[in-house]
Chain A
Amino acid sequence: MKPSPKSEANRTGPLLRVASLSKHHVQQRTFSRTEFAVSAFQDVDLELFSGKTLALVGESGAGKSSLARCLALLERPDSGKIEMEGENLLALNRKALFGIRRRVQMIFQEPVSAMNPRLTACEIIAEPLAIQREGTRLQQRERALELMEQVGLEANWERRLPFEFSGGQRQRLAIARALALKPSVLILDEALSNLDASNQALILELLAELQISHSLAYLHIWHDLRLVSQFADEVAVMYQGRIVERKKTHDLFASPEHSYTKELLATVHSVESILLERSA
Chain B
Amino acid sequence: MKRQKKLVVALVLLTAFQSLILFAGFFAPYDFAAQDREQPFAAPTAVHFVGPQGNVHIRPCVYNLEDSVRCYPLHFFVRGTPYKIAGVFTSHLHLFGVEAPGHIFMMGSDAYGRDQLSRFLFGGQISLLAGLIAAILSVSIGIIVGGIAGYYGGWVDELLMRGGELFLALPWLYLLFAVRAALPLHISQWEVFLLLVSVMGLIGWARPARLIRGVVLSAKQRNFVVAARGFGASDMYLLRRHVLPQTYGVVITQITLLIPLYVLAEVTLTFLGLGVGEPMPSWGSLLSSLQQYYVLSSYWWMFLPALLLIPLFLIFYTAADALQEIHKTVTL
Contact = CB atoms under 8 A, between A and B. Distances in A.
Contact between chain A and chain B defined by CB under 8 Å? yes
Interface of A: 69, 72-74, 97-98, 101-102, 105-106, 108, 110, 113-116, 118, 127-128, 131-132, 177, 181
A74 B232 contact: no
Given A113-B222, A116-B242, A118-B245, A101 B227 contact: no
A113 B242 CA distance: 12
Contact of A181 (B229, B231, B241, B245): B231
B156 to A, nearest CB: 19
B85 interface: no
20 contacts: A74-B226, A74-B229, A98-B232, A101-B230, A101-B232, A102-B231, A102-B232, A105-B230, A106-B230, A113-B224, A114-B223, A114-B224, A115-B224, A115-B227, A116-B242, A118-B245, A131-B228, A131-B231, A131-B232, A132-B232
Contact of A132 (B222, B224, B231): B231
Given A69-B226, A106-B227, A131-B237, 15 more contacts: A97-B232, A101-B230, A101-B232, A102-B232, A106-B230, A110-B223, A114-B227, A115-B224, A116-B241, A127-B228, A127-B231, A131-B228, A131-B231, A132-B232, A177-B227
A110 B224 CA distance: 10
A92 B142 CA distance: 37
B233 interface: yes
A127 B245 CA distance: 16
B230 A74 contact: yes
Contacts of B231: 101-102, 127-128, 131-132, 181
Nearest to B229: A74
Contact of A73 (B222, B227, B230, B233): B230
Nearest to A111: B223
B228 to A, nearest CB: 6
Nearest to A133: B232
A200 to B, nearest CB: 20
A259 B156 CA distance: 48
A113 B231 CA distance: 16
Nearest to B242: A116
Contacts of A98: 232
A177 to B, nearest CB: 8
Interface in B111-153: none
A73 to B, nearest CB: 7
B244 to A, nearest CB: 12
A72 B227 CA distance: 10
A74 to B, nearest CB: 5
Nearest to B237: A131
Contacts of B229: 74
Contact of A72 (B230, B233, B241): B230
Given A116-B242, A118-B245, A131 B233 contact: yes
Interface in B207-240: 222-224, 226-233, 237
Nearest to B233: A131
Contacts of B245: 118
Contacts of B241: 116
Contacts of A105: 230
A161 to B, nearest CB: 13
Interface in B179-227: 222-224, 226-227
A73 B237 CA distance: 18
A4 B320 CA distance: 57
A234 to B, nearest CB: 24
A186 to B, nearest CB: 12
A98 B227 CA distance: 14
B329 to A, nearest CB: 14
A101 B232 CA distance: 6
B232 A108 contact: no
A102 B231 CA distance: 7
A105 B230 CA distance: 7
A118 B219 CA distance: 13
Give the 10 A-B CB pairs with smallest separation, nearest first: A128-B231, A114-B223, A113-B223, A101-B232, A131-B231, A116-B224, A98-B232, A131-B233, A108-B223, A115-B224
A110 B221 CA distance: 13
A69 B233 CA distance: 16
A131 B226 CA distance: 13
Nearest to A101: B232
A163 B226 CA distance: 19
Contacts of A73: 230
Contacts of A132: 231-232
A97 B233 CA distance: 11
A183 B227 CA distance: 14
A184 to B, nearest CB: 15
A110 B222 CA distance: 10
Contacts of B226: 69, 74, 108, 114
A69 B241 CA distance: 22
A140 to B, nearest CB: 13
Question: In this complex, which of A98, A128, A131, A181 has the most chain B Cβ atoms within 10 angstroms of its Cβ?
Answer: A131
A69 B223 CA distance: 11
B76 to A, nearest CB: 51
A102 B230 CA distance: 8
Nearest to A118: B245
A101 B223 CA distance: 17
A209 B228 CA distance: 26
A188 B56 CA distance: 89
A74 B233 CA distance: 11
A257 B230 CA distance: 36
Nearest to B231: A128
A108 B233 contact: no
